[in-house]
């Protein structure tokens, strides 16, 4: 279905009849990324799978300001309102995790439990943010000039995804590539410019205020985000860190059965916290 949010058509897919679980994909992904988990989760949850702005079947406008983290969180708030959902469990991966955390910070009454897979609260220093914004702007320009296929070639080769070469079959890697290629140049470029790590709010200093039960899922082979989760867990008053062996950044792809069980166990076991 499509839900209009201030003139932007958001694509939303739902499944199941249980308690609401909002699912937010990573950069270059879409709601389709969560379909393999329907059989695991739809008996217990009402799955709400959203294409973030600039991705999948959601609009990809030219105006960069429509992609800001604040507007994106506000759009999710409107999506839940249109679906007549007062509060939901929220799971986000990477970019989707940054959106999920921002949503929880801005609309805490909307979130029952937050699950962040391989994600961050942004960058801590002004210098880091300026440098990252510069890099994201340069990458956005590259997407627009070289096109989506050249960008996907580049994106697949970054060190963050090295583990996929060993942990994913050739058919799964091919399927992932095809999904990435379905995105648009303007959508991905403006996503980087509008809600990249360098321009989004930094939530590091406010993690101690987040009382919502929060689960951080990280892979042992993703050292950057493993260390980041260790730093985050020291600040979160109601946080838990779950470490997955033999997994890198994309745990839901590399260890899907274990990932599915962790999410269900965490939400079931801690729903009354």
In whole angstroms, give the CA distance from residue 29 to residue 23.
Answer: 12
Rounded CA-CA distance 172/56 in Å is 19
- pLDDT of 270 reads 57
Query: Confidence band (pLDDT; 50, 70, 90) for 269?
Result: confident
Q: Is there a domain that residue 176 lies in? A: no
Distance CA 271, CA 27 (A): 28
Q: Please report whether residue 6 resides in a domain.
A: yes
Whether residue 271 is predicted with pLDDT greater than 80 in this model: the reply is: no
Is 48 domain-assigned?
yes
pLDDT, residue 109, reads 97
Residue 140 lies in a domain: no
Among candidate residues 29, 81, 74, the one with its CA nearest the CA of residue 50 = 29
102 contacts 203 by C-beta, under 8 angstroms: yes
165 in any annotated domain: no
> For residue 272, is pLDDT > 50?
no
Q: What is the pTM of this model?
A: 0.95
Domain housing 85 = 2-121+202-269
Structure token pair of residue 132: 């990252």
- CATH code assigned at 217: 3.40.50.1820
For range 105-124, the mean pLDDT: 97
Confidence band of 268 (pLDDT split at 50, 70, 90): confident
What is the DSSP secondary structure assignment for residue 51, as one 8-state letter? P
Q: How many domains would you assign to the chain?
A: 1
Question: Looking at residues 200-223, what average pLDDT do you find?
Answer: 97
State mean pLDDT over 161-182. Answer: 94
Q: Are 10 and 53 in contact (CB under 8 A)?
A: yes
Tokens of 258: 């274990």
Determine, yes or no, domain membership for 72. Answer: yes
Q: Residue 129 domain-assigned?
A: no
Q: pLDDT by residue (tens digit) across 50-67?
A: 999 999 999 999 999 999
The answer to whether position 171 is within a domain reads no
Residues 113, 90 contacting (CB under 8 angstroms)? yes
**CB-based contact 51:2 (threshold 8 Å):** no
Question: What is the percent of the chain where pLDDT is above 90?
Answer: 97
């Amino acid at each position: 279905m499509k839900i209009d949010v201030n003139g932007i058509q958001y694509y939303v897919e739902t499944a199941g009849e249980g308690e609401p679980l909002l699912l937010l994909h990573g950069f270059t992904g879409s709601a389709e990324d969560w379909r393999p988990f329907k059989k695991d989760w739809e008996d217990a949850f009402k799955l709400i799978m959203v294409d973030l702005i600039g991705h999948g079947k959601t609009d990809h406008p030219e105006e960069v300001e429509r992609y800001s983290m604040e507007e994106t969180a506000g759009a999710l708030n409107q999506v839940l309102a249109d679906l007549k959902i007062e509060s939901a469990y929220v799971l986000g991966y990477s970019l989707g995790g940054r959106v999920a955390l921002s949503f929880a910070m801005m609309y805490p009454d909307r979130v029952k439990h937050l699950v962040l897979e391989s994600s961050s609260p942004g960058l801590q220093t002004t210098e880091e943010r300026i440098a990252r914004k510069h890099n994201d702007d340069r990458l956005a320009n590259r997407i627009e000039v070289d096109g989506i296929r050249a960008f996907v070639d580049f994106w697949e080769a970054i060190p963050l995804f090295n583990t996929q070469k060993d942990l994913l079959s050739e058919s799964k890697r091919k399927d992932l590539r095809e999904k990435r290629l379905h995105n648009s140049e303007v959508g991905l470029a403006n996503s980087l410019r509008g809600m990249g790590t360098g321009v989004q709010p930094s939530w590091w200093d406010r993690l101690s205020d987040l009382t919502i039960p929060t689960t951080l899922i990280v892979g042992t082979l993703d050292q950057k985000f493993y260390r980041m989760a260790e730093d985050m867990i020291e600040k979160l008053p109601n946080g838990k860190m779950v470490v997955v062996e033999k997994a890198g950044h994309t745990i839901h792809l590399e260890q899907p059965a274990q990932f599915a069980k962790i999410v269900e166990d965490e939400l079931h076991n801690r729903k009354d916290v």
